């Protein structure tokens, strides 16, 4: 398995770098931090991951091992392929992504090409893994679900006031949104939907 690449930068695009590695021009889909450090004509070393599928072979590049490991976690989320996962790392740094996942701030993850439904799924599916694996990147207070400033936060607070635990409430709200992500929710409807899910459990 290829874990790193080193060579001269031959050219750059908005989402990739062409790297001369021992005479081979390898196209590397790069994270934002790697793109910002690359200069055409200069030597570059990066962490890498090679993905092989029926569609072909794709190479992804990262500035460090943390970005590479976070990328691999994101690709485990349903519908999140390699190019979409690295696009998230191109618009946000690793710490911003970790913070958004831990606080349930899915709107922050809705970068170009990645809609709110996928962003919610990333927060829901990865939170426990991120807490364990990337605790060093968490900002103070990031483990507490977001309470104020959002519809989800207000409904979660209301459910907690009814006696449900913070995790139960946040999970029910997230599941309600995921079940009908195209709907324009209001506080009352989201509260009723989440309550129905909690009562069934």
Tens digits of per-residue pLDDT, 97-107? 998 888 888 88
The whole-number pLDDT of residue 139 equals: 53
Residue ranges of domains in the chain, CATH in brackets: 4-137 (2.40.50.140), 151-200 (1.10.8)
Q: Residue 149 pLDDT > 50, yes or no? A: no
Alpha helices in 5-150 (DSSP H): 32-37, 65-74, 82-91, 94-103, 116-133
Q: How confident is the model at residue 21 (pLDDT cuts 50, 70, 90)?
A: very high
Instruction: Please give, one letter per residue, the 3-state secondary structure of 121-152.
Output: HHHHHHHHHHHHHCHHHCCCCCCCCCCCCCHH
Query: What would you measure as the largest C-alpha separation in the chain, in angstroms?
Result: 65
Cα(76)–Cα(61) distance, integer angstroms: 18
N- to C-terminal Cα separation, the chain: 43
pLDDT of residue 117: 86
**Taking the complete model, does pTM exceed 0.85, yes or no?**
no
| Model confidence pLDDT, tens digit, residues 67-77 | 999 999 999 99
Measure the CA–CA gap between 194 and 191, rounded to whole angstroms.
5
Q: Which long-range contacts (CB under 8 A, 24 or more apart) does 162-165 make?
A: 162/195, 164/198
* pLDDT tens readout for residues 174-195: 777 777 766 777 888 888 888 8
- C-beta separation of 191 from 157 below 8 A: no
Q: Which letter does DSSP use for residue 53 in this model? A: E
Confidence (pLDDT) at 60: 97
Mean pLDDT of 155-181: 75
pLDDT, tens only, 122-141: 988 898 888 888 877 765 54
**Runs of H (alpha helix) within 149-186:** 151-161, 166-179
């Amino acid at each position: 398995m290829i874990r790193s690449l080193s060579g001269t930068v031959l050219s750059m695009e908005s989402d990739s770098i062409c790297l001369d590695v021992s005479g081979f021009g390898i196209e590397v889909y790069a994270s934002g931090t790697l793109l910002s450090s690359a200069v055409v004509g200069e030597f570059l070393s990066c962490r890498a991951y090679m993905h092989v599928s029926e569609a072909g072979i794709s190479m992804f590049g990262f500035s460090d091992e943390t970005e590479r490991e976070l990328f691999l976690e994101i690709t485990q989320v349903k519908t999140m392929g390699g190019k979409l996962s690295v696009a998230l790392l191109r618009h946000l740094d690793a710490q911003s992504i970790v913070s958004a996942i831990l606080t349930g701030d899915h709107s922050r993850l809705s970068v170009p090409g990645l809609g709110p439904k996928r962003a919610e799924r990333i927060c829901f599916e990865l939170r426990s893994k991120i807490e364990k694996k990337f605790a060093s990147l968490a900002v103070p207070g990031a483990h507490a679900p977001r309470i104020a400033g959002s519809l989800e936060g207000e409904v979660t607070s209301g459910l907690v006031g009814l006696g449900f635990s913070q995790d139960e409430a946040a999970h029910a709200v997230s599941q309600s949104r995921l079940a009908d992500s195209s709907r324009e929710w209001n506080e009352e409807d989201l509260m009723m939907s989440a309550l129905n899910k909690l009562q069934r459990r």
